[in-house]
Structure 1
Amino acid sequence: MMRWSARGRLTAMYGGMFVAIGLVLLLVNYLLVLGMLPSTTAVAAQRVDSDLMPTTPIPGKQVIITKLDDYRTSTVSTIVWTSLVALIIAGVIATVAAWYMAGRVLRPVHSITATARRLGAENLNRRINMDGPDDELKELANTFDTMLDRLATAFDSQTRFVANASHELRTPLAVQRTLVEVAMADPAATPELRRLGQHLLLTNERSERLIEGLLVLARSDRGLPGRVLVELDKLVETVLVGCIGLADEHNVTVTKVIKPRTVAGDPVLLERLVTNLMHNAIRYNRPGGSVSVSVGGSPALRVVNTGPVVPTAELAGLFEPFRRLERTATGGGSGLGLSIVRSVVKAHDGSIAAGAPRAGGLDIRVDLPLAYTAVTPSRMIPAST
Structure 2
Amino acid sequence: MGKLRSGTVVRRFTILYAAGFLGSGTALLALTYLMSGSRLTTAAPEQPPAGPAGPGAAERRIRDLEGQLSDMQGQQDHQLLAGSLIALVVMVGVSLLLGRVLAGRVLRPLRLITAATRRISAENLHQRLAVAGPADEVKELADTVDGLLERLEASFAAQRRFVGNASHELRTPLATMRASLDVAVAKPEPAAQTVALAGRLRTELDRVDHLLDGFLVLARAQHGTLVDRTPVSLGGLVREALTARAADITAKTLTVDDEVRPDTWTRGSAALLSRTVANMVDNAIVHNQDRGWIRISTEHDDTEARLVVTTGGPVLDQERVDRLTQPFERLGADRTGPEGSSGLGLSIVAAIVTAHGGRLTLLARPEGGLSVTAALPSAAGPEVTR
Structure 2: tracts of 5 or more residues without a match: none
Code of the residue aligned with 1:134 in structure 2: it is: A
* CA shift digits 1:295-351 (9 cap, x unpaired): 220552111112343311123321112222213457522222111111111111111
- Local SS of the residue matching 2:377: coil
Change (3 A) 1:184 1:270: same
Q: Distance in 2 between matches of 1:362 and 1:152?
A: 38
* CA shift digits 1:228-275 (9 cap, x unpaired): 112222222122211212222333222211111121111011101101
Q: Distance in 2 between matches of 1:368 and 1:18?
A: 53
Does 1:144 find its partner at 2:152?
no
Match of 1:265 in 2: 268
Match of 1:205 in 2: 206
**TM-superposed deviation, 1:32:** 2.8
- Local SS of the residue matching 1:265: strand
- Local SS of the residue matching 1:125: coil
Change (3 A) 1:140 1:266: same
Q: Distance in 2 between matches of 1:281 and 1:209?
A: 18
Does 1:359 find its partner at 2:367?
yes
* CA shift digits 1:197-242 (9 cap, x unpaired): 2221111111101111121122222131241112222222122211
Higher deviation after alignment, 223-232 or 189-198? 189-198
Q: Does the CA contact (< 8 Å) of 2:264 and 2:305 recur in 1?
A: no
* CA shift digits 1:159-200 (9 cap, x unpaired): 321331132101111221232244345452333333322221
TM norm structure 1: 0.88
- Local SS of the residue matching 1:296: strand
TM norm structure 2: 0.88
Higher deviation after alignment, 108-117 or 334-343? 108-117
Q: Distance in 2 between matches of 1:126 and 1:249?
A: 53
Change (3 A) 1:359 1:215: same
* CA shift digits 1:69-119 (9 cap, x unpaired): 222121111111111111111111110121122222222323333344444
Q: Distance in 1 between matches of 2:383 and 2:150?
A: 36
Change (3 A) 1:236 1:201: same
Change (3 A) 1:149 1:274: same
Does 1:314 find its partner at 2:320?
yes
Q: Distance in 2 between matches of 1:256 and 1:289?
A: 14
Matches within 5 A, 1:1-385: 4-39=7-42, 42-43=44-45, 45=47, 54-56=54-56, 58-186=59-187, 188-221=189-222, 222-259=224-261, 260-297=263-300, 298-327=304-333, 328=335, 332-371=340-379
- Corresponding residue pairs, total: 373
Code of the residue aligned with 1:316 in structure 2: it is: D
Q: Does the CA contact (< 8 Å) of 1:206 and 1:332 recur in 2?
A: no
**TM-superposed deviation, 1:61:** 4.2
Q: Distance in 2 between matches of 1:110 and 1:339?
A: 35
Structure 1: tracts of 5 or more residues without a match: 380-385
Code of the residue aligned with 2:226 in structure 1: it is: L
Code of the residue aligned with 2:218 in structure 1: it is: L
Q: Distance in 1 between matches of 2:177 and 2:314?
A: 36
Q: Distance in 2 between matches of 1:372 and 1:125?
A: 31
Q: Distance in 1 between matches of 2:119 and 2:344?
A: 26
Task: Give me the identity figure in percent.
Answer: 35
**TM-superposed deviation, 1:277:** 0.8
Q: Distance in 1 between matches of 2:50 and 2:125?
A: 92
Code of the residue aligned with 1:274 in structure 2: it is: V
Q: CA RMSD in A?
A: 2.7
Code of the residue aligned with 2:313 in structure 1: it is: G
